[in-house]
Amino acid sequence: MKLTVAICCLNSEKVLPNTLKTLRANAPKELNLIVVDDGSKDNTAKIAAEYGALVISHPENMGYAQARQSALKNCQTEILAYIDDSCLITHDWYSILEKLWADAPESTKAIVGLMEIHQPQSFLQKFQSRHNPFLPLPISLTRSSSFFSRLLSYLKGKQLIQAGPISSFSNGNASLRVSTFEEVGGYDLRYRIGAEDEDLASRIIRKFGETAIYFDPTLTVFHSSDESFRSFIKRSFKYGRSAALRYRLEGGLPTVMPIPALFIPIFALELLAFTRMGYEYLLLTFILIPPVYAPRLQSIRYWIPDSYLLFLSECSHLTGLLTYLSKREKILVPEMSTK
C-alpha cells in the first residue's frame, strides 16, 4: 500500500534537516514526500527541495488547517501520513505503519502513533517526558461529556494507553485514508491557530463510529527540540488559545484548567488582604498545590518541582484561553494571497 508523508512547516530551517535526514534514511527511496512551507521567511523551502520533497509554498502564513489541507490536495496516494517538522522517525516506523495499514479493516479511518521526547537531557525535557503532552485521549472520553467525567480525567492526567481506539490525537504522528478526508469535508480552515486535529478527529468519530481512529504505541516518532522555559510556557499559552477557538466554534464545555482557575482567585484575595492577614495563609495555599496534582505524579522524587511546573503550564493555558475568549473579532476562513 503506497502512502505519502507530509510535513507542515513555518520557519523550520533549524529542525527540518534532521527530520528529513532521518526520514530518508529509514524509509524507501521512492517515498512520496510533501513539505508545506506555510509562509516561511527562512530557507525552509530550499532545504525541503534538497531532500527531494514536493514543496508547496504559501505566499504568506495561512495557519495549521490550511497547511494540512494543502498537503491533502497534493497527495496522490491512498494514505496520507503527517509528522511534525521536529520529529524523528524510528528505524522501523515506516515498516510498522505499512503493516498496520495492510492489516487494518475498512472501518479503520486513521492510524495514530506515539510521540515521545527525544533524548531528554535538560530538566524541562525530562519533565515533558514524564508528562507527555502528545499522548492521545482514550475513546472513553467521547462517551460522556459531563463535567464530572471531564474533571476526573483532568485530575488523573494523560496516561499512556494500550493499542486500540482513541478519541483525539496530534497530527505529529498520524495517518489517514485520503477518502476519509473527502467524506468528512477535509480540514476546517477556520482552525488557523490550532485544534484542527481535534476537530477532524471528532468529525471522523461522529461519522464512522468509535473504532474509526486506531492508536498503536509501537508506531513511534521522537519530538526533537531545544526546550527553554519560554517555549514551554508559550506552548501552553498556544494550546489555551486553540482550546478557546474550538469552544467558540463548537460550543460545549471549554477546556478550562480547574486547579489554576481555583487557586489564582484565592491567591489574589490573599494578596489583597496580605497586610491584614500576614503571609501565613498565602504560604499555606501555595503548599496545597502539590497534593492536588498527586494523582498524575509518577515519582515522589519529582513531586514538588513537577507539581509547580504543571501549575505554571496550566496557568499559561488558562491565560491563553481567557485572552482569546476576550477577543470579539469574527472567525473567518483565511484567503490565499495572490501576490
The sign of the dihedral angle between the CA atoms of 307, 310, 316, 322 is negative
Fill in the amino acid letter for 146.
S
Is residue 74 very low, low, confident or very high in pLDDT (cuts 50, 70, 90)? very high
Cβ atoms < 10 Å from Cβ of 192 = 21
Which residue, among 261, 265, 253, has the nearest Cα to 292 in the 3D structure?
261
Name 138's bridge partners.
166
Q: Provide the 8-state DSSP code for 163.
A: S
**Pairing relation of β-strands 3-9 and 79-83?**
parallel
Which residue, among 64, 99, 62, 63, has the nearest Cα to 79 in the 3D structure?
99
CA distances from 250 to 66, 150, 191, 218, 245 (A): 19, 17, 11, 33, 8
Q: What is the pLDDT of residues 179-229, one digit of tens each?
A: 999 899 999 999 999 999 999 999 999 999 999 999 999 999 999 876 788
CATH domain 3-227 topology: Spore Coat Polysaccharide Biosynthesis Protein SpsA; Chain A (3.90.550)
Q: What average pLDDT does range 163-177 have in this prediction?
A: 91
CB 96 within 8 A of CB 163: no
Q: What is the pLDDT of residues 115-137, one digit of tens each?
A: 998 888 888 888 988 888 888 88
For the chain, the domains span 3-227, 228-339
Distant-in-sequence contacts of 292-297, Cβ < 8 A, 24+ apart: 292/155, 292/259, 293/259, 295/155, 295/156, 295/157, 296/131, 296/155, 296/156, 296/157
Instruction: Identify the pLDDT of residue 145.
Output: 59
